[in-house]
Structure 1
């Protein structure tokens, strides 16, 4: 069988799966719209996750410094970098929110 025929068959299968998924997603989309979380809740959860990540990294670093077994330096460094990146992302989101607020406040009424 040629590659073109295999590709066409694969594309047809993907399209049929897409149609099935879309058919199933429509009733769920209505339910999701009714249960859409609030922005403040989502932001609070994100900040909570950043805090948890930082706490876990701090605990791992302390455990490594105290010489507890089972704590590897590479794991400590990875946890530290994850905490740093999550904090930087949260800071960028905050900066964008402040900028959006300032833009809205400067709009003429």
Structure 2
């Protein structure tokens, strides 16, 4: 496997499927989590696959659909699962927050919209 960016660097990832894991965004159950090399900096980053929060993420949709159909990965579905996980891991993800989104969040915070 390579990093998907045309280089020959290996893709190293620790992928975990654990029904007890909770999504950091909605606190619902996760399908998967993975520790992957951080982009543009040393170290690792954790990415998660939540069927609720990632439902509209194009990079996640095929893998979410796989889990909706298959409750387990077996010999017959292993190749498909491996390809879908690879595609999910190597998908380009936004890094950081756009200046526009940052300003929107500041304005919402100042209006008290984030108060519980």
Q: TM-score range by the shorter chain?
A: under 0.3
- Greater share of residues in helix: 1
State the TM-score, normalized to the length of structure 2. Answer: 0.25
Between structure 1 and structure 2, the one with the greater Rg is 1
State the TM-score, normalized to the length of structure 1. Answer: 0.26
